Amino acid sequence: MSSQIAQSTPSLLLQDVVINRGSRCVLPRLNLRLEPGHLLGVLGPNGSGKTSLLKACVGELALAGGAIYLNNQRLDQHNAKQLSRLRAVLPQSGHLTFDLPVHELIQMGVYPFTEIAQSDVRRWTDQAIAMADVEPLMNKRFATLSGGQQQRVQFARVMLQIFAIKAVNGHAFLLLDEPTSNLDPKHQGLLIRAVREMVNSRQVGALVILHDLNIAARWCDRVLLIAENQRPVLGSPATVFTEKTLKTVYGIKMQVSQHPARPNQLLILDNEH
* Domains of the chain and CATH, by start: 81-210 (3.40.50.300)
Residue 2 pLDDT class (50, 70, 90 cuts) = very low
Q: pLDDT value at position 230?
A: 85
State phi, psi for 98 to the nearest 5 degrees.
-130, 160
Between strands 222-225 and 65-70, the pairing is unpaired
Element at 12 (helix H, strand E): strand 12-21
Q: Coil, helix or strand for 147?
A: helix
Q: pLDDT value at position 23?
A: 84
What CA–CA distances, in Å, run from 241 to 10, 95, 175, 249, 269?
28, 33, 22, 10, 11
Q: Coil, helix or strand for 178?
A: coil
Residue 5 pLDDT class (50, 70, 90 cuts) = very low
Element at 89 (helix H, strand E): strand 87-90
What CA–CA distances, in Å, run from 203 to 111, 116, 165, 220?
21, 18, 10, 16
Encoded amino acid at 73, one letter: Q
What's the pTM? 0.92
10 Å Cβ neighbour count for 8?
Answer: 8
CA dihedral 47, 14, 197, 176 (to 10 degrees): 30
Alpha carbons within 13 angstroms on the beta-carbon side of residue 264 total: 4
